[in-house]
Structure 1
Amino acid sequence: MIRVIGLMSGTSVDGIDAALVEIYGQDLDIQIELIAAKTYPYPDELREKILSVCANEAISMQELAQLDDAIAFAFASSALNIQASHEPATLIGSHGQTVYHRPPTLNTLAYSLQLGRGALIAQLTNLTTISNFRAADIAAGGQGAPLVPRIDAALLSHPEESRCIQNIGGIGNVTYLPARRDNWLEKIRGWDTGPGNSLLDLAVHQLSNGAKTYDENGDWAASGNICQTLVKQWLQHQYFHTPPPKSTGRELFGVDYLQQCFQDAEKHQLTPADFLATLTELTAASIVENYRLFLPQMPQRVLLCGGGTRNLYLKRRLQILLDKVPVTTTDEVGLNADFKEAIAFAVLAYWRQMGNPGNLPSATGASQEVQLGEIHQPSAE
C-alpha cells in the first residue's frame, strides 16, 4: 500500500483538485481508497494570467518562468494542505496546468505543455513528485491524451456491461470499456470528444459582464430555447468527424471559436439564455455524435465525471439524446466523480513508481505501452 497525492487542474482552470488516496495492488489489479479530496482555487490574478496565456497572449520568457513557478507553488501548497490532518503521503502525481496542446499531424509529433514543474514541487513538499506525464506517450507517437483510459479500465470496467466513462471538464473525453472478457483490453477506445465546459464558462463570463464564471446547475441555459439549426451547423466542424485517436483543447475550442459562435447566432436573434441552451446542446450532441460515429456499438451505460456532472441541464440533455442508455455518474459505482481526474494522476504516479505502463496505445495512438512521468526526488537534508 502506498499513500499518494494526485494533483490536477484542467482546461477550465477552476483551481487545483487534490486527492489523497491509498493504492493497493499491481498494474490493472489495483484498489484505491480516497482519504481526502478538495479543490483549491487559484488566486484570481494567477487564474487570469493562465487563461490569457491559454488564449494565446504573448508573454516573455521571464513571465513564462514566473508563471511556471507560481503554478508550482500553488500545486505544492495544495499537496501540503490536503494531507495536513492525515497521515502523510510518500508520493505526488502532478499533472500540472496545460497551457498549450497540439495534436500530431502527418509530419509532426504532438506537443503538450504543462506548467508547474515537478522538481520544484518535490523541493517544496519534500516528497517524491512525478510530473510531465504526457511526454513519453507523445515521444512514442501518441496524442499524449487522453491518459485516463488505463485507469478507467482498472477501476471502472465491468464483467458483463459495456460502459462509456465520459469526463466533462473544460474539454470532454471518453473511455469506451467493453465488457471485461475476450481480449477486452485491446478493444478499449478513448479520445477527446470536443468542448465540455470551456465554451460555456467563457460565454457565461461574457454574457454576465464578468459577474459569473459558470452556469450553476445549468439553470441559465435551462431557461432558454435550443436553436437546433445552429447546433446542426456547429456539428459540421471537422473535429467531430475526425476518427480517433484524437485530442483537442482551448487552442481549437476556445475564445476564437466562441466568438465565431456568437457571430453565427446573430441572425437567429437569440437571448442570452437561448445562446447558452444552444451551446450546452453542442456539448451534449457532440458527445453523442462521437459515440454514434466511432464506437463499435452504443454502450449499455454512460458514467459521467468531472465538473460537468454538476450541470444538471447538460446531464438531462445527454440522457434525452442517449434515449434508453442510462446516464449516471461514477459516484454511483464507487469512484468520486468530482475528483476522478486527480485520483487518476495519483494512480499514474503509483504505476510509474512500480514500473508499470500508464498509457493505452488504443486510446492515444502511441506505438507501444510506455511508463509515463518524470520522477523528481527532493534533495537530501
Structure 2
Amino acid sequence: MHPTEKAAVPTRVIGLISGTSVDGIDAVLVDISGTELDLKVELLAGATYPYPAELRERILAVGAGVAISMAELAEIDDAIAQVFAQAAQNIQIGHQPATLIGSHGQTVYHRPPKEGAGEQGSRREMLTTHGLNPSYPLTALGTSLGYSLQLGRGALIAHLTNIATVSNFRVADIAIGGHGAPLVPRVDAYLLSHPQEGRCIQNIGGIGNVAYIPPRHGDWLSKIRAWDTGPGNSLLDLAVEHLSAGAKTYDEDGNWAASGTPCHPLVEQWLNQDYFHLPPPKSTGRELFGVTYLHQCLKDAQAYQLNPADILATLTELTAASIFYSYRTYLPEMPQRVLLCGGGSRNLYLKQKLQLLLGSIPVWTTDEVGLSADFKEAIAFAVLAYWRHLDIPGNLPTATGAPQEVLLGEIHQGQF
C-alpha cells in the first residue's frame, strides 16, 4: 500500500452518523493526518442534532417493518439527507470549512449473510458448472449475501453542501461475503491500541459491538476480533418510552433502572436467545432486538410481577450480561482493559453492572485515553472517508468475515 501524497497533509473532514437508537445525528469536524500507524485525529467540534420529531417517528416505523411505498421511501431518504447536510453545515460554523464528508447515514434494515453447510455444497457445484473458482467465498449465483440499507443518500448531501461526500460504507464488504459490520474496528486498532495491553473497545449504541485489540506487536492486526454483542440501548430506550407512556425516551444515567432490582432468572432465560450463541463474525440490529423482542420480554416479565424500575434493571442486566458472556465465550483471552464508548457509556448503572461482572478488569471510557466516547463512531466514519479518499482499505476481515480487505464507500463530488 502506497498512499498518495495527500496523506502527508492534514485534511479537515466531517463525520456523520445516526445509530440504531435514532436519537439524532452525531456530527464531528476533525483534522486528520497520517495514514495508519501514524494516524492522528484532532477533534475540532462535535454535536448531536436531533431529528425533527415527525421524521424520527417515520424512521422508527420503517425500521420496525411498517410497509410503505417506494415514493415514501424516497421521500424519507431525501429528508434524512437534508438533515444530515444541515448538520454538516452547522458543525463547521466558526471553523475553516471541511474538504470531505464521511456519512454513514441512517440504518433502517440489516440482514446478515446466511449460509448453511448444505448450501455450500450446492454453491460449489453451481460455480464449477459455470467455470468459476468453487473456493471463492461468494455465493455469486445464490441469495446468501447479506444486505444493509442506510438512508440519507450521499449524492444529495454532496449536492447540498458542495463538499465531496463518501457514503454507503457497508456495501463493498457485503458484496464479497462479509457482514458489512462492524466497520469501526480498523479505526479502533490505529487510534486505541496499546503496545503492551490487550483491550476491548465496547461501543454501546442501540446495538452493542466489541473490538478486541491485542497488544500492538508482531502480527497483531490479524488477531483483532470484533462482532455485535447484542442489545445496547435499543431495548432500554424502547422500554423507557413504553413504561413512561412517551414522556421519556431514555434512562438518564441509568437512574430509573438503578432504583429497581434485576430479575436474574429472566436474564438467564433471555441469554438462551440463539444470537448470543452464534460464533463470530456476526452482526445484528433492531430487526432482532427491537419492538417485537421487547414485547416478548415484557410478556416474560409478567410471571415475576416486576414493576417498571425492575423491568429496566433487568433489561440493563441483560445488556451487561450479554457483553460479558460474549467476552468469556468468544475472546481468545480476556482483555486487560475495557474502553466504553457510545451513548451507553454514560449510563452509570450499566457501567457499574459491567464492572461487577468483569471483576478486576478496569472499565473506562475512551475519553480517559484521549478519544471522545460520545463521538467516537462519527470520528470513525470521518477516518473511513479519509481512507477511501487515499485508496486505503477500511474493513477488517477478521471483524466482518469478508475474505479480503476492500475500499469502503462511494464517493460523490460536490457541485462545481
TM interval, short-chain normalised: over 0.9
Residue-pair matches, total: 380
> For residues 61 and 349 of structure 1, what CA distance do their matches in structure 2 show?
29
Matched, 1:155 2:155: no
Instruction: Give matches, 1:101-180, under 5 Å.
Output: 101-106=110-115, 108-180=144-216
Matched, 1:336 2:372: yes
Matched, 1:69 2:69: no
Q: C-alpha displacement at 1:27, in angstroms?
A: 3.0
- In the TM superposition, what whole-angstrom CA distance separates every residue of 1:10-60 from its partner, at most 9, and x where no partner exists? 000000000000001013420000000000000000001100111100001
- Name 1:311's counterpart in structure 2: 347
- Name 1:355's counterpart in structure 2: 391
- In the TM superposition, what whole-angstrom CA distance separates every residue of 1:238-273 from its partner, at most 9, and x where no partner exists? 101100000000000000000000111111000100
- Name 1:271's counterpart in structure 2: 307
Out of 86, 93, 116, which is 2:95 matched to? 86
> For residues 63 and 94 of structure 2, what CA distance do their matches in structure 1 show?
35
Percent of paired sites with the same residue: 73
Amino acid at match of 2:87: S
**Mean Cα displacement is larger for which, 247-256 or 27-36?**
27-36
Instruction: Give matches, 1:1-381, under 5 Å.
Output: 1-106=10-115, 108-380=144-416
Aligned-pair Cα RMSD in Å: 0.6
Amino acid at match of 1:68: D
**Unpaired segments ≥5 residues, structure 2:** 1-9, 116-142
Q: C-alpha displacement at 1:152, in angstroms?
A: 0.3
Question: After TM superposition, which residue ranges in structure 1, 4 or more long, deviate above 2 angstroms?
Answer: none
**Unpaired segments ≥5 residues, structure 1:** none
Partner SS state of residue 29, structure 1: coil
Q: C-alpha displacement at 1:138, in angstroms?
A: 0.3
Partner SS state of residue 267, structure 1: helix
Amino acid at match of 2:96: E
Normalization by structure 2: what TM-score?
0.91
- In the TM superposition, what whole-angstrom CA distance separates every residue of 1:107-141 from its partner, at most 9, and x where no partner exists? 51010000000000000000000000000000111
> For residues 176 and 191 of structure 2, what CA distance do their matches in structure 1 show?
25
- In the TM superposition, what whole-angstrom CA distance separates every residue of 1:81-101 from its partner, at most 9, and x where no partner exists? 000210000000000000000
> For residues 379 and 347 of structure 1, what CA distance do their matches in structure 2 show?
23
- Name 2:127's counterpart in structure 1: none
> For residues 204 and 100 of structure 1, what CA distance do their matches in structure 2 show?
23
Partner SS state of residue 181, structure 2: coil
Normalization by structure 1: what TM-score?
0.99
Larger Rg: 2
> For residues 310 and 261 of structure 1, what CA distance do their matches in structure 2 show?
24
> For residues 366 and 225 of structure 1, what CA distance do their matches in structure 2 show?
42
